[in-house]
Amino acid sequence: MTSPASANDRFLRACLCQPVEQIPIWLMRQAGRYLPEYRATRARAKDFLTLCSTPELACEVTLQPVQRFPLDAAILFSDILTIPHAMGMDLQFLDGEGPVFSSPLRDTKAIRALPVPDPETELRYVMDAVRLIRHELAGRIPLIGFAGSPWTLACYMIEGRGSRDFQHIKAMLYSDPELLEQLLDTLVRAVAQYLNAQIRAGAQAVMLFDSWGGALTSAAYRRFSLKPMTRIISALERTGSDGQKVPVILFTKGGGNWLEAMADSGADVLGLDWTVDMGEARRRLGPALALQGNLDPMALYGSPELLVQETQAILESHGPQAGHIFNLGHGITPQTPVEQVARLVETVHNWRP
């Protein structure tokens, strides 16, 4: 049965640089710990992996922010590390530390033996969550699916956790780049299959999160981060279950130096962090590509007046040109005041060029 198209399709139209009557807004990590209802659901789930891997709970959490705020898109509640977990790596989420792999990938044999998981078998819980969320949304707003970029996934898999200097993966990059590329090739195939399965399950747009691409040199970014993402984008099924085009969003945190190269990836939308001026990015890239962003999440801790001022400055910097999706420059943080999120959404929706 085909899921209904979205009654509010401003987000999808903006992704394709089509005119909209109101700037659409959604927020990275919009389902998260700043919401009291999320904390209650998380407590019921006992642990984060259970929350991610139980479709009914993932659906509940996905819907919480769009029930509270008039956001223009929902994003699947999951984690970028579901893929390496499905590959057989032992993943834990430790309080105060975040994700940790107990046995990081440091061995050539282990890297070459990594399987590509079947998204409808090992990752079926994600697809079931997508199907359930689309059903519950009932066509009100679109649903975004997502995955981590191969480079970002490889960073976690080789380092074993988040890192400041990326010592182990960068050592591999410089000492055995062919081995690193073999791992990235496996991840390209896994991510492409994963996103295509999300699209078939009902995702109406998909996003590649490249959290750590900004840690690379310019040449290394193109080879080890952007090239794998470009291969994924070229492998995606671009028509959704409702017959509409599925836009692709590419976001590299710290990627402002490479916007023109990113624009050649095949993505429809480039996500910007707060280090990039929105108007300058529009001038550099021209009118054919949509831009997403890019308020500093810390601005939500300022006064109401400052938040409105910072938000309007970004909107005015972009100007009336079609193709702007308002978002944060990275994920919302756990202590963010809920009333400030409501104020942000209202400010964006009330803005007129």
Which is the catalytic residue, given 79, 128, 210, 268? 79
Measured between alpha carbons, how far is 14 from 78 in angstroms, rounded to an integer? 24
Give SS3 for 135: helix
* CB-based contact 10:310 (threshold 8 Å): no
Measured between alpha carbons, how far is 100 from 98 in angstroms, rounded to an integer? 7
Q: Which two tokens stand for residue 168?
A: 């182990």
CA 10 to chain centroid, in Å, comes to 19
Which is the catalytic residue, given 42, 223, 231, 282? 42
Q: Is 318 known as a binding-site position?
A: no
Q: Is 32 known as a binding-site position?
A: yes
Q: Is 241 known as a binding-site position?
A: no
| DSSP character at residue 4 | P
The tokens 């964006």 sit on which residue?
348
The tokens 């990752």 sit on which residue?
123
Measured between alpha carbons, how far is 262 from 268 in angstroms, rounded to an integer? 10
Q: Is 211 known as a binding-site position?
A: yes
Which residues are CB-neighbours of 168 under 8 A, at least 6 positions away? 104, 106, 158, 159, 160
Q: Is 30 known as a binding-site position?
A: yes
Give SS3 for 290: strand
Q: Is 47 assigned a catalytic role?
A: no
Q: Is 106 assigned a catalytic role?
A: no
Which is the catalytic residue, given 10, 13, 29, 134? 29
Which is the catalytic residue, given 33, 161, 200, 222? 33
Q: Is 44 assigned a catalytic role?
A: no
Which is the catalytic residue, given 156, 210, 221, 282? 156
Q: Is 33 assigned a catalytic role?
A: yes
| DSSP character at residue 6 | P
Q: Is 194 assigned a catalytic role?
A: no
Sheet holding 324-325, edge to edge: 74-75, 143-148, 205-210, 248-252, 269-271, 290-292, 324-325
Pairing of strands 248-252, 269-271: parallel
Which residues sit in the known binding site?
29-33, 79, 156, 211, 330
Which residues sit in the known binding site for substrate?
29-33, 79, 156, 211, 330
Please give the positions annotated as active site. Answer: 29, 33, 42, 79, 156
